[in-house]
Amino acid sequence: MRRIEPPNAPLGSIVLDRVSMVDDDDEELLQDARDEKGRERWLSWRLGVSFFLFGLLNNVLYVIILSAALDLVPPSTPKGIIAFVNIAPALVAKVGWPYLLKGHIRYTKRLMGCCLLSSLGMIVVAAFDNLNMRLLGISFASFSSGLGELTFLQLSTTYTPPSLAGRSVGYFASGTGAAGLVGAFLWWEVRSLGVRVGVGLSSIMPWIIPIVYFFLLPHSSAFLCAASPLAYEDATSPAEHSIIPYAPLPATEDEIGQEGFVPSGRKRGVSLSANDKWRLVKPLLVKYMLPLFIVYLLEYTINQGIAPTLLYPVPNAKDHPVLSKFIHTIRDYYPLWQLVYQTTVFLSRSSITLGIPPLPANLLFTPAVLQALIFVILAFDSAVGLFPDDDGAISIVTVFLLISLEGVCGGLAYVNVFYRINQERPDPQSMHDVERTKQEREFRIGSIGFADSCGILLAAVVAVPTEVTLCKTQINRGKMLCKGL
């Protein structure tokens, strides 16, 4: 309502009153802006913590199973069978779901199914002493882990702008990196309780995921008023921010028809055909899948095939006081290399959450190239030796640095590939169909997942003859350390 000034009011009083009204309006606008920034920070914190916990909880059982391998199978059984059974079902899930199934993703039902299957798997492992039953339980947990990872990565695509989806992937990757350290630590703490109690307790952990999903994770619609609908990291012009309709992407099929989620032109029956999926996946094969496959193949071959043979004389406390605190027997080398690897993987997978800029798309092959170089150097050191055998300290430090770089390459490859796929622009042919655009984004990020699993699975096959060959080579040149393990 317009303010009516009293007649004969002094001019100075009128001016002061109007200045006061302007100041009040400015103060109210500033307060609203502060409140909105606080709301955005709170939402971003909840989103980051949620995806971090998703990554941690989804992968931690995988690490616990690997850490407990010695306790889960008889001494005469090759421990590599645990690694194989722990990855093969996950590969089936990553191939089967995005490539064979179509239509809407029912996130709630899928996540509840993953939690149930994962918990059931750990209960089977804990309840039975029979090897076949334990392998069956591990298979359940592996399948659930693979499907869970796929689901959380696809869930990140429902958040707009894409830069927000990229940050969600960054937090998820950080959580998966932390799972390596947390899982190993948890098993170290509960190992004394035995397999039945220790693994049985871990069956509770998957049920934290629904709590986070329902009570901590903010809905994707909460971010829509806070940012431009599409803010691609590499956008260079305003036109690039508006190439698909501004509409929230529903996270579940149950949201169809709810106010605020579905534009008027939405079609319920949209689904991607096999030809559609092949058209979408072809550009991703070399750009994203190949570097991820190479990194993981070399990384896990190093961890399972070369690292067990990287053995040196035990350093004495007089000449090497620092090294002697960590290495007491020859058996301490392999756990040390794994600790170094897991720590650097966690740090590098957390790079985006720590504010380090992601790798440019044209440098995604860099970690693969470095990983190949590390593979060659470590294999040469194991077979021939970079330094004289009596100079173990410099060899230990060199391997420490190379294993650290190996972990960095592996972590950077993972987080940057999935970050970049979330920045892919929609297909111009379907950019006006919100549901098709949603399914294409989900499929793109889901289709990448089998590349790293294929690398890990192939590495499990290659690592065994690699370790045997390197050990024989060492014995032939007079280095007998691997024979004493």
Please give the angle made by the CA atoms of 448, 449 and 455, to the nearest 5 degrees.
105
pLDDT digits (tens, 9 = 90+) for 232-284: 454 443 333 333 444 444 444 444 333 333 343 445 567 888 888 888 899 99
pLDDT band at 62 (very low <50, low <70, confident <90, very high): confident
Alpha-carbon distance 102 to 273, whole Å? 8
User: Are residues 121 and 190 in contact, defined by beta-carbon separation less than 8 angstroms?
Assistant: no
Determine the pLDDT at residue 304: 85
pLDDT digits (tens, 9 = 90+) for 347-381: 999 999 998 999 999 999 999 999 999 999 999 99
217 has pLDDT over 90 = yes
Inter-CA distances, 391 with 130, 378, 380, Å:
46, 16, 16
Determine the pLDDT at residue 477: 84
Inter-CA distances, 209 with 170, 198, 306, Å:
18, 20, 36
What is the pTM for the complete model shown? Answer: 0.82
> Please, where are the H alpha helices in 191-305?
195-202, 208-215, 274-281, 284, 290-301
Alpha-carbon distance 233 to 421, whole Å? 12
Alpha-carbon distance 342 to 335, whole Å? 10
> Please, where are the H alpha helices in 157-223?
162-190, 195-202, 208-215
Give me 449's structure tokens. Answer: 């997942």
Determine the pLDDT at residue 259: 32
pLDDT digits (tens, 9 = 90+) for 307-352: 888 988 887 777 777 777 778 788 788 888 888 999 999 999 999 9
Give me 360's structure tokens. Answer: 């440019």
pLDDT digits (tens, 9 = 90+) for 389-447: 666 678 888 999 999 999 999 999 999 999 999 888 877 776 677 888 888 898 999 99
Pick from 167, 113, 123: which is nearest to 145 by CA? 113
What's the half-sphere exposure (Cβ side, CA atoms, 13 Å) at 236? Answer: 0
Determine the pLDDT at residue 75: 64
Give me 305's structure tokens. Answer: 């095939």
End-to-end distance of the chain based on CA atoms, in angstroms?
Answer: 88
Determine the pLDDT at residue 17: 58
**Of 78 and 294, which is predicted with more confidence?**
294
